[in-house]
Chain A
Amino acid sequence: MSASMMAPLMFASLVIFLLIGYPVAFSLAANGLLFGWIAIQLGLFTPELLGALPQRIYGIMQNETLLAIPFFTFMGLILERSGMAEDLLETVGQLFGPLRGGLAFAVVLVGALLGATTGVVAASVISMGLISLPIMLRYGYDRRLASGVIAASGTLAQILPPSLVLIVLADQLGRSVGDMYSAALLPGLALTGFYAAYVLGISLLKPAMAPALPPEARTLKGFALLRKVLFTLVPPLFLVFLVLGTIFLGIATPTEGGAMGASGALILALINKRLNLSMLKQAMNTTAKLSSFVMFILIGSTVFSLVFRGVNGDQWVEHLLTGLPGGQLGFLVVVNILIFVLAFFLDFFELAFILVPLLAPVASLLGIDLIWFGILLAVNMQTSFMHPPFGFALFFLRSVAPKDDYLDKMTGKSIAKVTTPQIYWGAIPFIFIQIIMVGLIIAFPNLVTVEQKKVSANTPLKIELPVQRYDAPTEAPEFTFSNDGEGTK
């Protein structure tokens, strides 16, 4: 086997490994290690290279941004477990009750809000899945629509600032995070709008998929409903303040905002007299297990990507890119198709680390603004979270969606489980929305606000310096050299 075949073979065999149905984290790692063993036999690298494994795992441990995962998961669980989330969605349901698709609109809205507080898709999808999925199932939403709208709205976390994805892209493109954030705002809001428009379309064309609340569920009307709305909106607004407000007031970093929200959820549960030891233990227990599985997927993919680089897989990708047809548009079209296809196999970070450094110089040569290009890539790569069967957002949703039929607590009715194919099918319309958005950004470049730097390189530099003299310039220097006999005093 030649070295150049290793990279495509790794992808092909990864698909088979994952379809066996063994946990994703270990299949990813095992696939990497199998090819590592082959590469060692072929002399492509020595076993010492695998010594990078603990170092890479340690790098994942040290990544403090990932603390958002336990913080937001824990917050979501406390909210869910204490019944506050249910109250909220229930009330929103009552409010939007007569409106078809009302709950789905609420999910898109909450997704955008959460997305604006966290840059981590896992945290967003998991907490939304926990809070909104059971309620949508209770009221007979189509399972594909329900899971699709949750997974997609969860990925808004990566396009709406703050965002881990935009930070990585800014770093790889050599542009500032701040510029990236302001450029992403409009496309992020546009996507939110498109998701809502899709829900609207469904509720008009296929009302059965997004039913209005049945009359018997709409128990409150008029003033009573208004009071209930105001009353139940206080806790979530308090949390939004804790998560977002403390960041804006300069109290918490974006990472710490998640902890603020989690502490706030505990306080709310305490005030509502719903905090007890058993509930707390369950929330911690579930947070621990979810965190472990999410982090182990990262560990599994770090094993895979180490070997992928070891067999020069990144160079293989580079060769794919050479000889692209010329011209801005040709380049953009090919690149977007390529990224879209690779997103089936690679997660966002691998795309960013392997592809972006190769694409950026070419884009720059073609006169494409790199910030605009970065946002285009970010919108396209958002699909890597939703691509069946390996989209991470789908994994996260799968992990919190019911795998068995269960009895709904409130209505006592039996509710059917959510199947994996339902989750996959649900994601597909949203992938189309992403493609449309990519097309729109190419067609209307002004959708991405890019601040122009107008300084010409030829302007002579003139700097006015404030006066600060550390020395006493009028004194003659004194000499104290250390070399014996040669110094004078």
Chain B
Amino acid sequence: MKALLRIAHLIDYLNERVGHSVYWLILVTVLISTGNAISRKLFNVSSNAFLEIQWYLFSAVFLLAAGYTLKQNEHVRVDVISGRFSKRTQAWLDIFGGLFFLLPMSLIILYYSWPFFTHSLLSQEWSGNPGGLILWPAKALIPAGFLLLLLQGIAEIIKRIGFLLGIEPPEPPSHPPLSEFMDASQKEGEA
């Protein structure tokens, strides 16, 4: 179990690093979008590449940060009923959901998205828009994102089992942005 928990914490670290890296792309996307609009108006200079890179980058953010978001427990839940259960029952439900919801979903989408990506890579497929971008990097984001999500799903299951065995703290309460900001002082050092 100790070894498993070590793996789980390694995955935590991995997704934490990935999440903290890809969030910069939000800023990049905002700046590209603004810059494209201004240069198009002022200098009549633009390209479909500038339009396409925006959804490439945003896709990188939301797909690659999915595991990180799970780790932070910020994928929204309907907690009207489960919110009343004990921490132990919630841990059991999380293990159940991880095993029967998250893992199968991630595996199935990984299975189908891999050839989707490799076909694009091997055929060097480009965007059909004039001046557009090559497509495989965008298509690669799907298997990459779901792999990170799958790994985090495994880590969460291990950690919940660890909690039931009494050797791991319970799942962190989700940190919705507001509470994060309310006690910003203690989080200042993060990232």
A14 vs chain B, min Cβ distance (A): 11
Q: B4 to nearest A CB, angstroms? A: 21
Residues of A within 8 A of B131 (CB): none
Q: Are A420 and B68 in contact (CB under 8 A)?
A: no
Pick the residue among A17, A62, A282, A289 that contacts B69 (CB under 8 A): A289
Inside 8 A of A23's CB, which chain B residues have their CB? Answer: 70, 75-77, 97, 102
Pick the 7 closest A-B CB pairs, nearest first: A21-B82, A22-B97, A259-B33, A23-B75, A30-B101, A54-B113, A288-B23
The answer to whether B173 and A403 touch across the interface, beta carbons within 8 angstroms, is yes
Q: Would A402 and B104 be within 8 Å (CB), given that A21-B78, A26-B75, A58-B139 are in contact?
A: no
| In the assembled complex, A263 has its CB within 8 A of some CB on chain B | yes
A29 contacts B142, C-beta separation under 8 Å:
no
| Chain B contacts for A130, CB-based, 8 A | 177-178
CA distance A241 to B163 in the complex (A): 52
Partner of B113, one of A24, A57, A62: A57
Any chain B CB within 8 A of the CB of A336?
no
Residues on B lying within 8 angstroms of A by beta carbon are 19-20, 22-24, 26-27, 29-31, 33-34, 36-38, 40-41, 51, 54-55, 58-59, 61-63, 65-66, 68-70, 72, 74-83, 85, 90, 93-94, 96-98, 100-102, 104-105, 108-109, 112-113, 116-117, 138-139, 141-142, 173-174, 176-184, 187-188, 190-191
- Count how many chain A residues have C-beta atoms less than 8 Å from C-beta atoms of the other chain: 88
- Expressed in whole angstroms, the Cα–Cα distance for A274 and B140 within the complex equals 38
Q: Which residues 18-45 of A have a CB within 8 angstroms of B?
A: 18-27, 29-30, 33
Residue A488, interface by CB 8 Å: no
Q: How far is the CA of A286 from the CA of B165 in the complex (A)?
A: 32
Q: Are the CB atoms of B109 and A400 closer together than 8 Å?
A: no
Asked whether, in the complex, the Cβ of A250 is within 8 Å of the Cβ of B76, the reply is no
Q: Give min CB distance, A367 to chain B, whole Å.
A: 42
Complex: chain B residue closest to A15, CB-CB: B78
Residues of A close to B85: CB separation below 8 A? 21
Contact status B41-A250, CB under 8 Å? yes
List residues 43-95 of chain A with CB under 8 A from any CB of chain B.
50-51, 53-55, 57-58, 61-64, 66-67, 70-71, 74, 77, 80-81
